[in-house]
Amino acid sequence: MRIVMYQTYSGIYDDREIVQTYYPSKSDMWKALAEQYPQHEIVFVTRSSGYMLLEKDTDGTVIEPSGIQCVLIDEALVPADFAQVIVDLAPAVAVAVSSPEIPLDWNSLEDAIIAEILQEHGIKTVAHNIFTSIATFDKWRTHLVLRELGFGVAKAVYIHNDLFWAETRVPGIESNVYKHYIQYRVENLHYPVIVKDTVGVASIGIQIVETPEEAWDLLSASNRGSDVLVEELIKGEQFGTEIHGVKGSYHVLPPFRLALNDEGIVDPVVGMKFGPVLAEQYNVRQLQESLRRLAETLEFGGSAEIDLAFRDGKWYVIEINPRMSGLTSTAAAAEERTPLDVYMESALGSPVDYSEPENLRYTLTFRVPTPSDDVLRELNDLDHVIEISNVKSTVANIVFENSGFVLGGFASTAELLKELTGLRERYPEVFTEKIVHDARILAEG
C-alpha cells in the first residue's frame, strides 16, 4: 500500500543558516526504510527545504533518496493546499513527522490541521490532533491540562502581556488591578523561579530569578510583547522520555536522565542524555502507566517527548513536545530503531513492546566540537556509534556548530562505560575526559 509521510516547516531561511550533515546520511536512512518495507510504496511530502529529514548537495539542491518518492512543494502553500497534494497521491495512510522550529515551536499544529483535512477526505492519519497541538504549543495551556489530569506540575503564574500593560494602552486607567494581582502572586511563589515566554522552543529566552524583587524588576522593565509564565524551579533530577505509537497502542519508554547546564537547567541542544533509567526508587512502572493515561487522553499520534523532574519521590511533568525532539534519536536507539522506523511502525504496528525494559538497550547522547571528516568516517563504522549529526546554525541569531553522537546497543551500563573508556583512549579529541566523567555521573546516578 502507499504510505505518505509528511512534514511541514514554516520557516524560510537562507541555506547557509543551517548546514546539516549526518552519518549515516538521511538518504541512507530512507533507503534502509524502503528496503525494510518492500511491500509498501513510501512517499515523503515536504516543503522544499527538506528540513531535518533530507540533505542538500553543495549547490543547495535537495538530495532525493533512492527507494522512495519525494514530493517537494512550495514553501508558501497553506495547509489546505498542502493537504490537497497528499489527497492527490491517494495514500492508504498519511503520517505526520513533525519537526521543531526556532523560535516558535508550532509545526505540529500545522501538521494537525493537515491531518484533519485528510481525515475529511477519508484518509487514515497518524498525527497529533489540533487540540493537543495547540495545548502543548502554549506552555500555560499545557500547565492547565496537566493540572486537570492530576499530574505533578510546578506552581506557576501566567501573565497576559496586554493586561499587564493595560494602563499604557487603555485611556482612563490609573491603577492596573491586574498588575497588582500578578505582583501578589509572584511574591508568594517559592524561589528561585523560571521566567519564560509561554511559546517558544527549547530553553530560548528562559531566565532564572532568585528573589521576588528581581522577578518584579524583570517583569516591569519593559513590554516583552508576549505572554509570560513565571514558574517555580523544581530543583530535582531532570529527565525526559518519549511516547511512540497511536491510541490503544503506545510505547511509553522509561525515563532518560538529562544533564544540566551551568545555569541549572536542561540544554536540549548540547546536553548529555543517558538511559533508560530503571532504578527502583524512581517507580518507573507507575510513571509509565501515568504517561500512558496522558497519551490516551490527548490521543498522541506518532511521537511525543515529555520533560520530567523527580524530587522527593515524586514525578513532575514540565513540558510536552508533540514532535521529533532532541531525545528522539536517543529513544529510537534504545529501541534499536531509527526515528523513521518509529513513525512507520506507528502506522503499521510493531511486534515489540518497547515499554518493556527487556526490549531496550542503554544509550548515551552528547555533543562536542566537530571533529575532522576522517575521524567522523572512522567513528561512523564503529558498531556502537548509532548516529552522528553535524549542525551549523545561525538561525534567529542562535549560533552554534557541533557534532552530536548517539551511542547505543549496550546490554548494561557497565558495558556502555567500558566502551566509552576505550573510545577515549582511541579518540581523545572527541571522547574527552569530561565526556567520560559526565557520562559516568549520569549513568550511575
Work out the mean pLDDT of the chain and round it to a whole number.
90
pLDDT score recorded for residue 262: 65
The 10s digit of each residue's pLDDT in 9-58 is 877 655 556 677 888 989 999 999 999 999 999 999 998 777 778 887 77
Do residues 407 and 386 touch, judged by C-beta distance below 8 A?
yes
Residue type, 54: L
What is the dihedral angle through the alpha carbons of 91, 96, 97, 100, rounded to the nearest 10 degrees?
A: 150
pTM of the model: 0.91
pLDDT score recorded for residue 180: 96
Residue type, 211: T
What are the helix (H) ranges across 237-338?
284-298, 328-334
pLDDT score recorded for residue 137: 92
Cell of 56: 542538500
Q: Which residues pair with 86 in a beta bridge?
A: none
Q: Which residue has the higher pLDDT, 404 or 61?
A: 404
Cα→Cα distances 94→42, 320, 442, Å? 10, 23, 38
Q: Which residue has the higher pLDDT, 395 or 65?
A: 65
pLDDT score recorded for residue 194: 92
- Give the integer Cα–Cα distance in Å for 83 and 378: 42
Sequential DSSP letters for 351-390: SS-TTSGGG--EEEEEEES---HHHHHHHHTSTTEEEEEE
pLDDT score recorded for residue 224: 73
Sequential DSSP letters for 223-238: --SS-EEEEE---SEE
What percentage of the chain exceeds 70 in pLDDT? 93
pLDDT score recorded for residue 230: 96
- Give the integer Cα–Cα distance in Å for 339 and 333: 8
The 10s digit of each residue's pLDDT in 240-289 is 999 999 999 999 999 999 997 766 666 655 689 999 999 999 999 999 99
Do residues 161 and 182 touch, judged by C-beta distance below 8 A?
no
Radius of gyration of the chain, Cα coordinates, nearest whole angstrom = 22
Flag whether pLDDT at 184 surpasses 80: yes
Q: Which of 222, 284, 274, 283 is nearest to 252 (CA)?
A: 284
10 Å CB burial of residue 130 (0-12, 13-18, 19+) is middle
Q: Which residue has the cell 497534494?
A: 85
pLDDT score recorded for residue 169: 82
Q: Which residues pair with 363 in a beta bridge?
A: 275
Look at strands 93-96 and 124-126 and give their pairing.
parallel
- Kindly tell me the sign of the dihedral angle through the C-alpha atoms of 413, 288, 366, 29: positive
pLDDT score recorded for residue 13: 54
Cell of 223: 513590554
Q: Which residues pair with 3 in a beta bridge?
A: 42, 93
pLDDT score recorded for residue 15: 54
Q: Which of 167, 348, 374 is nearest to 245 (CA)?
A: 348
**Domains annotated on the chain, with CATH:** 2-127 (3.40.50), 155-232 (3.30.1490.20), 236-356 (3.30.470.20), 361-445 (3.30.70)
Cell of 46: 515536504
Secondary structure letter of residue 253 according to DSSP: P
The 10s digit of each residue's pLDDT in 186-239 is 999 999 999 999 987 655 668 899 999 999 999 998 777 789 999 999 988 999
What is the separation of C-alpha 221 from the centre of its chain, rounded to a whole number of angstroms?
32
pLDDT score recorded for residue 267: 65
pLDDT score recorded for residue 63: 85
- Give the integer Cα–Cα distance in Å for 322 and 29: 22
The 10s digit of each residue's pLDDT in 332-343 is 999 999 999 999
The 10s digit of each residue's pLDDT in 118-146 is 999 999 999 999 999 999 999 999 999 99
Q: Which of 114, 122, 117 is nearest to 90 (CA)?
A: 122
Residues 6+ apart with CB under 8 A from 121: 83, 87
Instruction: State residue 175 phi and psi, 5-degree precision.
Output: -125, 120
- Give the integer Cα–Cα distance in Å for 343 and 360: 18
pLDDT score recorded for residue 270: 61
Q: Which residue has the higher pLDDT, 407 or 270?
A: 407
In the chain, what is the greatest distance between 2 CA atoms, to the nearest angstrom? 72
pLDDT score recorded for residue 14: 52
Could you tell me the pLDDT band of residue 370, with boundaries at 50, 70 and 90? confident
The 10s digit of each residue's pLDDT in 326-368 is 899 999 999 999 999 999 999 999 999 999 999 999 999 999 8
Look at strands 302-311 and 273-275 and give their pairing.
unpaired
Q: Which residue has the cell 528562559?
A: 206
Q: Which residue has the higher pLDDT, 397 or 419?
A: 419
Secondary structure letter of residue 167 according to DSSP: G
Residue type, 306: I
Count of C-beta atoms within a 10 Å radius of residue 443: 21
Q: Which residue has the cell 495551556?
A: 141
pLDDT score recorded for residue 242: 97
Cell of 389: 549529526
Flag whether pLDDT at 300 surpasses 80: yes
Do residues 135 and 145 touch, judged by C-beta distance below 8 A?
yes
Do residues 229 and 213 touch, judged by C-beta distance below 8 A?
no
